[in-house]
Structures are given as structure tokens and as C-alpha cells.
Structure 1
Amino acid sequence: MSIFQIGWYLIYTKARHEKKVESRLAEKQIECLLPMRKSFKKWHDRRKYVTEPLFPSYIFVYLRDIKSYYGGMDTEGVLSYVKLGKVAVMVNETVVNNVRLIADKAADVEVSKDSFQPGHRLMIRQGPLSGVDGEMVTYKNKRQLLVRVELLQRNLLVTLPEDAVLSKECFS
């Protein structure tokens, strides 16, 4: 890595190693974010709620220096950083904050690979999702908040609460 920049990056992990990698990164004092969601799973013999990553095999990490970059790479279960060419790509801090708020406070989150036309830009001003900005789209006949995570080619969809106070502002 020729020029290091402080910020959020994405680590790609071995399948089903996200929680282990998260705890190993925490031991190395590397700040990380593993957004989780609860989902209802049905097997032939039982049903239960399980907690699973929003983005399987990916963890957001905040790197403060080149030492933490290499420390993250040298963590058991880590395969690589998400890169464009040979350079690790930074994740916009607004996207990380939106993902964090949604994972912490939204009850019903859907992750989609579908392509969406640009919707009306908005920011939620009050309620549990206060501070989240994204786009309003109609999906499955519901008014949904769409947050794009373009680096992963995924979208987060959250059903907007009726009492959400929205402001339609232009974001540059």
C-alpha cells in the first residue's frame, strides 16, 4: 500500500468466520463494525431466531495507521481487503454510519442485490432511525428507505415507520 489514508475499509473473511475475526481484531485494538440482524430460520425439525451478519464474509474496519492495516491483514480468518485493482478501497463514513444505525435500531432490514432507480433523497429527522440518510423507494408495495452500499453492490431496505419525520434535502 503506497499511500495510506485513515478511514473505514472492508475486510473479506473466510466463510462463517466473521464473529471470530471481529473478536481477534478487537484484541489487536482495531476498531471494527460487524452489522448483524436477527432472522427467523426454519429447519425440518425446528424453528428459531438466529443472529447473522448483514453482509456475510465482510467486516468494516477503521484503520488509523499503516500498522493497523497490516495487523488486520495478519489476522487469522482474514482473506484480504476489498480492493480496486491493487489498492484497498475506503468506505464513505456516511455509509458506515447509516449501516450502523440501521443494524442497531431497525427491526426489519432486508439486504438486496437488485438494481434500483434513484429515489427521492431524504434524511430521517426523528425516531429510532434519526440521522439515516438515503433514498425513498417503493419496493414490494411498501414505502422503503434505501441505503446503497455500492462497494459491496448491495442495498439495505428498511420499511419506514409511519411516524418518521423526513426532510427531503438535496445532498451533494
Structure 2
Amino acid sequence: MSGRKTISPKRNKNGVIAPVGSVPKRWYLFYLRSRAEKSVCVELERRGYDVYCPTFSSLRVWKNRQKKVVEQPLFPNYIFVYTYEYELHTIKSLPRVVNLVALDGKPAIVSEKELAGIKQMIELEQEITVEAKFSQGEHVRIISGPLSGHEGILTRKNGKNRFGIALKSISQTAFVDIDVSTLEKIDRKL
């Protein structure tokens, strides 16, 4: 016997063979058909994928003056999927999935830190807004409170200071009201 080890390929939950030495799992972003976030998330979770679709509660007033609190996606038409790169084609081919978001021809990867910041913003149970353009402002780091350690952009809107975490892959920034006493300036570009 030669003492060589043979490495047999591993299969994932869906039966797809994982390439030996493949890159680690990452958060990828997919663009969906309008109002398909919930159904696509359910389907992906059923197939064993880790999926994140951030939502927030909003008070809606209907034509008959009835008020109702509804859950809405924070980033309409987008979902985040934690998976391997070799599984992207399988996900992209699902019904109601329009495309994989890419930057410079490569799949857009969202960092764990960006998603953790978004999750913590939602947990604050404050009004949270998303703007489609990057707001220019000072680059800051939060030094105290539940968002401590996160870096983002400081802007001022309607007389309030707002802290934003930018998701460059979809050119959107999530903002929440912030007390400037919990911030420090940083010099690096985000």
C-alpha cells in the first residue's frame, strides 16, 4: 500500500457534488421578481439553504381608513443566500429568481459584518429607511450602544442625524437615527 489518501468528493444537501478545495460559503445576493421574496425564501429554506430577507413593520392605511401593520422587505426584490459559489447556478435557475447580482462580472458578495449591522438596526425597533443612492457624508464608527463597532456614513435629514450602512452591491444604504455622542470620525473610505 502506498500511503496515499484518496479524497472523495462530498455532496451537499441537494445532491450537488462539491469541488475539492472549493471556496468557503459566502453571502450572495439575488434579484427576484416583484413581491416574490417570501415564496423564494420558503423554497430555498425547504431545500436547506440559509436565507436572509430583512423585513420591517409598517403601518398601512387602506382606502376604507382601516389601519394594519404589515411586514415589508427592507430591500424589495432582493434576498441574501449563504452558500457556495458552485451552487449559484442552481439557485439562479429557480422560478421567480431573476438574476444573481454581480459586480464587474463577478458574483457580488455581502460581508457578514454588513448583514450583522442590518440585523442590529432592525432589532432597534426604530424607523429604518433605505435610500437608493449613496448619501455623501462623514465616515464614522459607532463607539457605544447596540451598533457598537459598525462603520458607516453619517448624514443629516429632516433635522436628524442618521447612520447608514452601505450595501455597495445593490447601491443602497440602510439608515437609522443616531445620537452623535455615540460616534467617532474615521478617515478611511467605505
Is the TM value for this pair above 0.5?
Answer: yes
Post-superposition CA distance 1:28-64 (Å, at most 9, x none) = 1111110001111122112211110001110011113
Give yes or no for contact 1:138–1:144 (8 Å, CA) kept in 2: yes
Q: Which runs of 5+ in 2 are unaligned?
A: 1-21
2:32 corresponds in structure 1 to 13
Give yes or no for contact 2:29–2:81 (8 Å, CA) kept in 1: yes
Scaled by the length of structure 2, what TM-score is found?
A: 0.75
| Residue identity in the other structure for 2:94 | T
**Matches of 1:107 and 1:54, distance apart in 2:** 13
Post-superposition offset of 1:22? 0.8
| Partner of residue 88 from structure 2, selected from 28, 46, 69 | 69
Q: Which runs of 5+ in 1 are unaligned?
A: none
Scaled by the length of structure 1, what TM-score is found?
A: 0.82
2:106 corresponds in structure 1 to 87
* SS across alignment from 2:175: strand
Question: Which portions of structure 1, spanning 4 or more consecutive aligned residues, are displaced by more than 4 angstroms?
Answer: 169-172
1:44 corresponds in structure 2 to 63
Identical aligned residues as a percent: 25
1:56 corresponds in structure 2 to 76
**Matches of 2:165 and 2:56, distance apart in 1:** 16
Post-superposition CA distance 1:137-159 (Å, at most 9, x none) = 21111011111122212111101
For structure 1, which segment, 68-77 or 152-161, has the greater mean C-alpha deviation from structure 2 after superposition? 68-77
Post-superposition offset of 1:124? 4.3
2:175 corresponds in structure 1 to 157
**Matches of 2:162 and 2:83, distance apart in 1:** 32
**Matches of 1:21 and 1:153, distance apart in 2:** 22
Structure number with greater CO (CA < 8 Å, separation at least 6) is 1
2:126 corresponds in structure 1 to 107
1:133 aligns to 2:151 (yes or no): yes
Post-superposition offset of 1:118? 2.9
Post-superposition offset of 1:23? 1.2
Q: Give the length in aligned residue pairs.
A: 167
CA RMSD of aligned residues (A): 2.5
**Matches of 2:124 and 2:188, distance apart in 1:** 23
Are the structure 2 counterparts of residues 14 and 62 from structure 1 closer, same or farther at C-alpha, using a change threshold of 3 Å?
Answer: same
